[in-house]
Structure 1
Amino acid sequence: MSSPRDAHPEGFALLDRRDAADLATYLSRARSVDPQAAVRLQGAGRVLAVWVSVVHPAGLLDSAPVVLGLRTVGLAEPAALDVTVAASAITDRLARTAGEGAPDDDAVLLSAPPQQVSASWAGIVAPRGGWSGVGAVDAERVRDVARRGVQAVSDAVPVDSGAAVVQKVRSRVWGAASGWGPPESPAIPDGAAFALDVLGFLPPTVQQVQVAAEQSGQWVRLSTAAGHVLVKPQR
């Protein structure tokens, strides 16, 4: 049995290779939104919280909401860390371990990248408690909102547009609230639907699943069995 002394202060040990593969898929999905994506890793005991941003303001004048993805992963040994690093650094490490040929049930030890990165969203802290249920919404409805938004962004962005133009369009589309949330909830930006879809938190279309919504202060949390999306609209 592991003790606190067994914790890896400079890394963490995933339970097995299946969890490692799931984490790699999650981070790859985050990088499909932003190839330079950062990831915040928070380890406490035997749980690793893996945070990514799908939508966030690019500056003080940007009207985009804050839309964060959260997935928790079990750890083989206790870990105490809080680092923000390039998602590519973690996916590279996971790719190397996948090629080692060890049994699927073996724990996967990953070292923390030595270089941290600066990400404005990583300093935005969602509430730990005070959440209360505000209804649920059908996963297919969420998926439809996400797909319509993706098409709207594609239609509005001219070919060879610069980063500033793309960000402006994304802020407008994903900051809009088209009324898809539960009736009991506050208006939820469409970017939250996009995050649930692009991060793989929605089930296959053949499954009838509800996305649970909770509220704490200005934040809304949307949850499925695969993960959580936390959103804070701009005021």
Structure 2
Amino acid sequence: MTGTPQIDFGDPRGLADLGTYLARASRANPDGAVRLQVLGTLLVTTVAVIEGTGLMGDGTVLGMRVVTIAPSDAIDTTVSFASVADRLARDGASALLSVPPTTVRAPWSGLTPPRDGWEPVGQLDGGAIDSIARQGISQVAEGTPENAGGHAVDALRRRTWGAMSDTVPPIAAGLAFGAHVLGFTAPGEPASIAAHGRWTRLSTSRGHVLVR
């Protein structure tokens, strides 16, 4: 592959969808990044809605979309939201994304969820998932004093998003937050919940959210 690698979405709407997805992700993690993986005719885009802690990345919440693209050389790079936004502003009317050349270090990008072996756990309605997320957002907002330090805020967020819901099946509130923020849920549309070891996955027609 020579020159700047490009990802061909085949349609400008595909590129616009990527822009919407990353704009939503950046609201939760403004200084975040996206991992772009091209596997033949598939593009896997992964973002961290919540970055976890420790060597195992406990509490990490990842958003993931898989879309079909034109055949391309293999790409696996992690770049900042800002750099992709710059490219989208320039290439917005095109179906081609020029991959930013400057990569970033993101500890979560080394976490690769399993591709198979998932065990179905159950389903939850999109409205119930949104309700869990909104409740958590309120708890974080109401529980954060004006002059709270960064450590106190981080601790509150970890407690809030790590708490399990009282739904059947129960899910971590952070999983609901990720699905809500990324726009993956819709009232009346079920989301499938699956488990694999330390991982839990929530899936809808719009994408996947994973937590460990």
User: Normalised by the size of structure 2, how large is the TM-score?
Assistant: 0.91
Q: How does 1:1-235 map to 2 (within 5 A)?
A: 10-59=5-54, 65-98=59-92, 100=93, 108-182=95-169, 187-203=170-186, 205=187, 208-232=188-212
Do 1:42 and 1:80's aligned partners in 2 also have CA atoms closer than 8 Å?
A: yes
Amino acid corresponding to residue 191 of structure 2 in structure 1: V
Rounded Cα–Cα distance in structure 1 between residues aligned with 2:54 and 2:113 = 19
Runs (5+) with no aligned partner, structure 1: 101-106
SS of alignment partner, residue 128 of structure 1: coil
Contact 2:34–2:46 (Cα < 8 Å) also in 1: yes
- Give 1:77 deviation, angstroms: 2.8
In structure 2, how many angstroms separate the alpha carbons of the residues matched to 1:91 and 1:229?
A: 22
8 Å CA contact 1:134–1:214 kept in 2: the answer is yes
Tell me if structure 2 keeps the 8 A contact 1:46–1:79: no
Deviations 1:104-159 (A, max 9, x none): xxx62222211111111111111111012111011111110000000000011122
Structure 1 counterpart SS, 2:73: strand
> Separation in 2 of the partners of 1:156 and 1:67?
21
Unaligned runs of 5+ in 2: none
Q: How many residues align?
A: 212
For the 8 Å contact 2:87–2:100, the answer to whether it is kept is no
Task: Give the conservation status (yes or no) of the 8 Å contact 2:29–2:48.
Answer: no
CA contact (8 A) 2:29 2:50 kept: no
**1:136/1:20 CA distance change after superposition, 3 Å:** same
Deviations, residues 57-83 of structure 1 (Å, cap 9, x unaligned): 244699x51211001122123231111
CA–CA separation in structure 2 for the residues paired with 1:220 and 1:123: 17
Alignment check: 8 A CA contact 1:132 1:216 kept: yes
Q: Which has the larger radius of gyration?
A: 1
CA distance in 1, matches of 2:119, 2:56: 31
